[in-house]
Amino acid sequence: MRLLWSHGAEFSFRPGEFFGRGEELSALLRVCLEGKSGIGASVLIYGPPNIGKTSLLLKLKLELQSLPETSAPPCPFPFYYSFSKILSHPLALSQHFLQEYLWQLLVFLGESPPASFDLEALCENLGARGHMECRDFMSAHRRYSEKGDGLSALANAFSFPFATGGNLWYPVFLFDDIQYTIKLQNISDGAIFSILRPYIKSGHFPMIVSGSSPGHVTSSLKREGLYGSFQLVEVGGLSPAASVKAWVPLFERRKIRMPEHLMGRAAARLGHVPIYQRMFAEEVSFRNGQMEDEVGFENLYALSVTEGKLNRYWREFFENAIPDRVNRARAIKFLKRVICDQFPIDTFEGAFSLMGISPEEGGEILSALEFKGLLKSDFEHIQFIRDPVLADFLYWAFERGVLGKNTPQVAASIVQSKISRAPLEEGREEHEKSAGVAKEMMRRWDCREVPALLFDFGRFREKFRGKGLLEIVIGLEGDPGKVKLPKISSVSTGYRALRGGSRFDFDLVAYGFREGDFSEENLVIWAVDVHTEKTIASAAVEHFENRCRLLSLEKGLKPGQLAKWILFEGAADPSVVDLTARYGIHLTHRTQMRLFLNLFGMEELEKGQEETRPPEPRGGEKPLEFELVLPMKADTEVVAARVAEEVAAYASLDKDTVDRIKMAIIEACINAFEHSGSQTGKVRLRYILSPEQIELFVQDDGKGFRPSKGDDDAKRHRGWGLKLISELVDDVDITTGEHGTTVRMVKHLRSGHGEGSTTSNDEGQ
């Protein structure tokens, strides 16, 4: 059996994605070819892990293999061998080394190597080609192995008669991961170099050695008196031009689009290191993300670097670069703030204090991150606090203690400046009112069609500047552009994702369905920000757009599934209006909002009163229908209960009846959560209120209530759920089909108001 590890690197090497390194390659190639005339040298390639040393060696191997046939013999036989940390025992290493050498030699000679990767068989094959010395050699190796004499076996393997090619070929050693040879059991550091010494010195066997721990390697070379025979080549990031080129095949393969002007920035962000670029491309393709502009790229980049569950590659990087667990966590958190939240840092001291760390520890972390190119551009365009959006974020973070225990002076001073900015604070109440009114109106949308001009401040202003109200109303009606609103199933205020941060901090987030059809395809999310300041800043729009993209990325929304809407009251610069248009953000000014509200029978907020309840349903009126979609998450059933309470309030039901309905709906939801095995993780509820009854539907898309088989939860439950429901409401029926289970519950209201329940004593309403 052929061992896979040294082959692994060769398999994952994609020549088509190898870019740049022209200088290094030609220098190395020259060294290798000089072996022909006995003046070949040896080279030590060094550089940090993952920088591309292996790729360079493999590319060199390819180049050597594809030399033009015309060149006179002897020709180079490039032998690539990667020392592995697994092979720390000299016997295992010697065995594997020989296998690899013989196998690659056979392939080089144009033989088809034996299927079984067995030394004897390899030897036979070579012997058949006249390489008889191989057999004697092998029998010696076997003897040492049987005796367990590791050092002799190793000396034997590495003093293989490499010169058997005579005038036809000569080996070129491409030794990768050489740092592992210093960890061989019971063998001194430079043993291998010592064995290979005559070959190295001869000039006929060029050797390219690569390793990420050059200190160790050079010291053992020095000890062996070989240091002078080695040239040193440092491998760093690619040249900017080469790393930009490297994007093209990476993106093509994965069908990712990136505008050309972004490529330089993207390459710089990844330190011009090819493997990072590849990993980034993989990440983007995995997320199916799009990078149409800087914001798109930065978001994906930030996600790929700082995602809570870091991907394997970044995790490895952080583990290698920052071994201390606590510091690593700090570094990741710090990066999140810097990259995701565009946290401003004007000094390194600021950065250290943000990490809550001493300057010594901080210096190490920053240099690790800088090496990776993670920080470069952030430190380049550092700008300080004048930005209201950032200040908002800081204030938010400060309030919630997100900034850590040693709250940095930076943040504290920002918070102070924020607090001293009285006007904003005064606007707080107004802001909440505006958001509240918008929320109420969105609930009433119900698939209605409204003039598109209500969402397009730019066109609205152009068309109606200086016009009277009547003219505007008529103009709006006459305008052909219409927008079909969704049916909103829930609106939440101050939506925040679990992972925290200001990234998802919208004033309102509404879930709705196009065409009123509650299906996954028709789901739309409306993200809404409300601005009550005197003028709306373009930074605020950028920030909003940024959060929107992150939201749709995280939620995996398709284009068109996220509607972005900014409501504002003050003035807007034409450039801000343009910006919103470019990002496809709906922009509605207070004047438009008044008209909008009017369409839904709502008044402006100055009146200051609570919005009036619609009239109570009377006999003969159409039933009122409410719908809600719940995620199957612990405690969301309480939301369903709250909605039930609100719905019941329309009919002025007595408290006891309301409580029973709440309990019944809670139980039905819990049942759906626990027993449905739903795929989508959603439960749909409908509340239908008529003068005679309240009808509740709880519908999931699972496989139906499975009678539980003695598992813990079921024991706890003891089947109370359904029993309670049947006690709490007047009728229950459960229908289970292919598409899930629906529990329908009916509570009769008899006289229509309050007296419906068995205990109609209205205490404590």
Partner 1 sequence: MSHLRVRTRKGDGGIFVVYVDGYLNSLLGEEMERAVYGVVDAGGAGVVLNFEGTKLINSIGISFVIGIVERMRERNSTLAFCSLSRINQELFQMTGVSRYVRLFDTEEEALVFLAQSV
Count of alpha carbons within 13 angstroms of residue 234, beta-carbon side: 4
Residue choice 234, 462, 727, 755 for contact with partner 1 (CB under 8 A) = 727
Helix axes 590-599, 457-464, angle to 10 degrees: 90
3-state secondary structure of 680: coil
Residue owning tokens 């709880």? 698
Question: What span, in angstroms and rounded, lies between the C-alpha atoms of 700 and 97?
Answer: 61
Give the shortest CB-490-to-partner 1 separation in angstroms: 14
Number of residues written out for the chain: 765
Say if strands 449-451 and 624-631 run parallel, antiparallel, or are unpaired: unpaired
**Which long-range CB contacts under 8 A does 165-170 form with residues at least 24 apart?**
165/74, 165/77, 166/74, 167/73, 167/74, 168/73, 168/74, 168/75, 169/73, 169/74, 169/75, 169/76, 169/77, 169/108, 170/35, 170/36, 170/74, 170/75, 170/76, 170/77, 170/204, 170/205
Contact, 598 vs 653, CB < 8 A?
A: no
CA 231 remoteness from chain centre: 42
Least distance in Å: CB of 659 to partner 1? 4
Q: Which stretch binds partner 1 (CB under 8 A): 150-158, 364-372, 479-487, 636-644?
A: 636-644
Residue 634 C-beta: closest distance to partner 1, Å = 8
Q: Minimum distance from CB of 647 to partner 1 (Å)?
A: 17
Segment interacting with partner 1, rule: CB under 8 A, options 31-39, 567-575, 637-645, 733-741:
637-645
CA distance 196 to 208: 13
**Candidate residues 189, 637, 695, 701; the one interacting with partner 1 per rule CB under 8 A:** 637
CA-nearest of 11, 9, 10, 18 to 248 is 18
The answer to whether residue 660 forms part of the interface with partner 1 (CB under 8 A) is yes
Q: How many residues touch partner 1 (CB under 8 A)? A: 26
For partner 1, which stretch binds (CB under 8 A), given 122-130, 199-207, 603-611, 631-639?
631-639
Binding span for partner 1 by CB under 8 A among 92-100, 476-484, 566-574, 657-665: 657-665
| Segment interacting with partner 1, rule: CB under 8 A, options 78-86, 168-176, 402-410, 661-669 | 661-669
The tokens for 70 are 């015309």
> Distance between the two ends of the chain, CA-based, in angstroms?
81
**Judged by CB under 8 A, does residue 641 bind partner 1?**
yes
Q: Does 667 bind partner 1 (CB under 8 A)?
A: yes
| Nearest distance in Å: CB 631, partner 1 | 12
638 binds partner 1 (CB under 8 A): yes
CB of 686 to partner 1, least distance (A): 21
Contact pattern from residue 31 through residue 50 relative to partner 1, giving x for each residue in contact according to CB under 8 A and a dash for the rest: --------------------
**Is position 717 an interface residue for partner 1 (rule: CB under 8 A)?**
yes
- Under 8 Å between Cβ of 586 and 566: yes
Can you name the residues that pair with 736 across neighbouring β-strands?
741
Of 663, 688, 732, 734, the residue at the interface with partner 1 (CB under 8 A) is 663
Q: Is 166 helix (H, G, I), strand (E, B) or coil?
A: coil
Shortest Å, Cβ 753 to partner 1:
19
Apex CA 539: angle with CA 538 and CA 543, to 5°? Answer: 120
Beta carbon of residue 530, minimum distance to partner 1 (angstroms, whole number): 25
Distance CA 662, CA 664 (A): 5
Which of 129, 723, 739, 753 contacts partner 1 by CB under 8 A?
723
Which member of 321, 437, 491, 666 binds partner 1 (CB under 8 A)?
666
Residues in region 745-764 near partner 1 by CB under 8 A: 759, 763
Closest to 81 measured CA to CA, from 52, 95, 101, 106 = 101
- Quick one: which of 106, 453, 670, 745 contacts partner 1 (CB under 8 A)? 670
Query: Would you say 534 or 642 has its CB closer to partner 1?
Result: 642
CA distance 176 to 158: 15
Q: Choose, by CB under 8 A, the member of 189, 656, 700, 701 that binds partner 1.
A: 656
For residue 713, the minimal CB distance to partner 1 (Å) is 8
Q: Which of 662, 675, 744, 747 binds partner 1 (CB under 8 A)?
A: 662
> Interface with partner 1 includes 710 (CB under 8 A)?
no
Q: Looking at 148, 480, 716, 737, which residue binds partner 1 (CB under 8 A)?
A: 716
Least distance (Å) between residue 719 CB and partner 1: 9
When the beta carbons of 491 and 641 are compared against partner 1, the nearer one is 641
- For every residue of 369-386, DSSP letters joined together read HHHTTSSHHHHHT---S-
> Considering the rule CB under 8 A, would residue 676 count as an interface residue with partner 1?
no
Rounded to whole angstroms, what are the CA distances from 721 to 39, 635, 673?
87, 15, 12
Query: Cis bond leading into 74, ω under 30°?
Result: yes
Q: Which is nearer to partner 1, 605 or 644 (CB)?
A: 644
Cβ nearer to partner 1, comparing 66 with 758: 758
| Interface residue list for partner 1 (CB under 8 A) | 634-639, 641, 655-656, 659-660, 662-663, 666-667, 670, 716-718, 720-721, 723-724, 727, 759, 763
